[in-house]
A and B are shown apart, each in its own frame.
Chain A
Amino acid sequence: MRTAYAGLILGWALGLGGCGSTPPQTGAEVQREHLIDAGERAQRAVGRGDLTRAAGFYREALRLAESIEDFRAIAIHALNLAAVYQALEEPALADRALDRVLSAPERFERQWSAEAAGRKAMLALQAGEQDAAALWLARAEKGCPAAACRIRPALLNLRAQWMLERGATDEARAVLEQSLAASRAQGNGEEEANALRLDGRAASRAGHLGRAVEQLTRALEIDKRLALPRKIALDLLELGEAELARGEREAARDYARRALYVSRATRSRRQQEASARLLERIQ
């Protein structure tokens, strides 16, 4: 009986060893694993708010993807890198990352080129280059014609933003209604909050300050639920502006201070300056 037990244990141990062993990998699999690993590390760094490190990992992932000419991975990581550079307030570097996709669009699927053009439009809007923004936006919309296009709500919001910058408030609000419907249909909370924020801004410009505060409060609720710190700061800033326009200085000061605290936590220089400027105006 004891011998039977010993045999059983030996068999179990051998089986366990066999199951626990690592399957051999080919060179391509190893390369692919390194690529995904770099992407995951970058993603974790983004989650921690360590954007500089995230940019480093995305650069590494892009390098690995380019070394094996994996165009899908090149597009994904070039777009990721551009997003991180934009958040780091490095528009020139973001532009350069996007050029890897846009300089040879025939190599990439249409969705990636459209997304790259959309981000170019966003960068141009941030830089106040309305004409360039219009060109890139048109190119992005051309690459994303169907109603089910994944980035359609984002493009509609960018279009509305462009219209707002040109003073076309009513047209912008019409586009924002489409955007709200599209983002709710897709279950895209991020773009829904963006549309509400822009709608709040449009209402504020039209003098409908009560509606502006209402829309911005809803945007803030969604952004807080999704835990998006930079956008929370944006909502707070817009709310501060709307309350100031309503003459509610105390409420405006409270929002501006909260925006300052959030932007300090995210280390966004631009948002910190905007919060400080708003606070100065309220004083």
Chain B
Amino acid sequence: MTGEPLKTGSEMRRNLRNVEFASRVFLAIAVVSLCAAVALLAYHQGVFTRTIRVYFYAGTADGMNKGMAVKLVGFKVGSLEQISIDRDLRVKVELRVDAKYIPMIDSEATVRLTKETLIGANVLELRNGSGDKGPIAEKTILRYEREPALEEIVAALANQLQPMVGEVRQATAYFSNPDSDFRQAVRQLNRTAATLAEAGVEMKRLIVIATDRVDKGEMRLRQVLDTTDGLLKEASSSLAVLDSSLRKVDAALPGIATKLDASLESIRVTSEAMRGILTDELPSIVGEAGALVSDTGEMVRGAKRSWPVRNLLPPSQELQLRLDSGGGLTAHPVENSGR
């Protein structure tokens, strides 16, 4: 007989015990690792953090969801635990606030639903009140405010614009209406000015005649003077008309001025609002959008590099639009040497 000697029963039993021991050790390590991972996850989820419950009531649950962050001056201090509805159709919201932040939040604090950025996620923001009533405690009920959404801002802006446009239209219609006091007064003013000009020319002519012919007799002079008198009367009546026209203009002007003032004020308010949007909000939107695109690009690049995606994609390579005497554009992988 050649080869290994047959193992005895006791040896085999010992070997089996060793294998059993090794598997138990391996399983114990695996279980401990799993427990540690679960515990770590739970720790990160805040299971071991001491919290208190506070509430607020809202008119609608729109924009709120379970787990959303509760922030105080930009720091996450808790999360939304539960949303329920009561019999009066009020939305009752339960928040979990980290106990270590309790001294920083007073019982008169206001909860505000806002966005982290103009196009970012919704968050609940705590804003402290006067601080007279001390810090929050378990089951404190807080006040709630809702920040106007972008659509509401735009709607408010449109509402602001509407009366302004109406007023401008009204003022324009007033100025362009041929029957309005203003247009009539201007027409009369034009007529009077024309009459005055005519009278002035006539008077000049008569004065020249009077000067030249003063020596031609009293009769002629009187006639001339009579004519002059008539013309002066005419001028006086014209002046009366002018006076009445000016009175009308004077009466109409305060109304017009008030309307113009109101229109200009509306324009000023609207332009202020528009400037606010353009200088404060738009650049931040553009900046955020740029950052978002850049982040997305980085994420896609990261995903492309990770296993198993990297094995599914063709390897990156430099491509060249080789010289084509017919003007074609065909890409070829770049060779190390062209000859």
Q: Quote the shortest CB–CB distance from A236 to chain B (angstroms).
A: 13
If the complex has contacts A158-B325, A230-B328, are A43 and B319 also in contact, measured as CB distance less than 8 A? Answer: yes
CB-CB nearest in chain A for B305: A22
Q: Is B307 a contact partner of A39 (Cβ separation < 8 A)? A: no
CB atoms of B320 and A191 under 8 A apart: no
Q: Contact: B329 with A76, CB < 8 Å?
A: no
Cβ contact of A40, chosen from B30, B34, B37, B316, cutoff 8 A: B316
- Collect the chain A residues with CB atoms within 8 Å of residue B37's CB: 10
Cβ proximity bits B218-233 to A, threshold 8 Å, 1 near / 0 not: 0000000000000000
Query: Is B334 an interface residue when CB atoms closer than 8 A count as contact?
Result: yes
Are the CB atoms of B31 and A6 closer together than 8 Å? yes
B27 surroundings in chain A (CB, below 8 A):
3-4, 7
Looking at chain A's contact residues, the main secondary structure is: helix
A144 touches B316 (CB 8 A): no
Closest A residue, CB atoms, query B321 = A83
B30:A3 contact, CB within 8 angstroms? yes
Assess the B34–A6 pair: CB atoms within 8 A: yes
Once the chains bind, are A76 and B334 in contact (CB under 8 Å)? yes
- Whether B146 is near chain A, meaning CB under 8 Å from some CB there, is no
Interface residues of A in 138-195 (CB under 8 A from B): 144, 146, 148-151, 153-155, 157-158, 161, 190-191, 193-194
- A36 beta carbon closer than 8 Å to chain B: yes
Tell me, yes or no, whether B331 is within 8 Å of chain A by CB. Answer: yes
Residues of B within 8 Å of A149, CB to CB, are 338-339
Instruction: Tell me the complex Cα distance, A79–B321, Å.
Output: 7
Do A150 and B305 touch across chains, with their CB atoms under 8 A apart?
A: no
Known: A21-B306, A22-B305, A149-B338. A39 touches B23 (CB 8 A): no
Closest to B303 in A: A22
Q: Which residue of B lies closest to A33 (CB)?
A: B301
A23-B305, A150-B339 given; A7·B26 CB < 8 A: yes
A46 at the interface (CB under 8 A from B): yes
B254 contacts the other chain (CB 8 A)? no
Interface residues on A, range: 35 or more
CB distance from A273 to the nearest CB of B (A): 15
Q: Chain B residue with minimal CB distance to A18? A: B307
Q: Which B residues are CB-close (under 8 A) to A234?
A: 326-327
Please give, as numbers and ranges, the residues of chain B lying within 8 Å of A161 by CB-CB distance.
325
| B179 CB within 8 Å of chain A | no
Is A28's beta carbon under 8 Å from chain B? no
A-B contact pairs, 23 of them (CB 8 A): A4-B23, A7-B26, A10-B37, A19-B307, A20-B306, A23-B305, A36-B316, A39-B319, A43-B331, A46-B331, A51-B329, A73-B318, A109-B337, A111-B339, A112-B338, A122-B327, A144-B339, A150-B322, A155-B325, A190-B324, A191-B325, A230-B326, A231-B326
Question: Residues of A with Cβ closer than 8 Å to B?
Answer: 3-4, 6-7, 10-11, 14, 19-23, 25, 33, 36-37, 39-40, 43, 46, 51, 73, 76, 79-80, 83-84, 86-87, 109-112, 114-115, 118-119, 122, 144, 146, 148-151, 153-155, 157-158, 161, 190-191, 193-194, 197, 223, 226, 228, 230-231, 234
* Those 7 A-B pairs whose CB atoms lie nearest each other, nearest first: A111-B338, A7-B30, A157-B325, A194-B326, A83-B321, A228-B328, A154-B325
Known: A7-B34, A109-B338, A151-B322. 20 other contacts (CB 8 A): A3-B30, A6-B34, A20-B307, A21-B306, A25-B305, A33-B316, A43-B319, A43-B331, A73-B318, A76-B318, A84-B321, A109-B337, A119-B323, A153-B325, A154-B322, A154-B323, A191-B325, A194-B326, A223-B328, A228-B328
Interface set of B (CB-CB < 8 Å, partner A): 23, 26-27, 30-31, 33-34, 37, 301-302, 305-308, 316-331, 334-335, 337-339
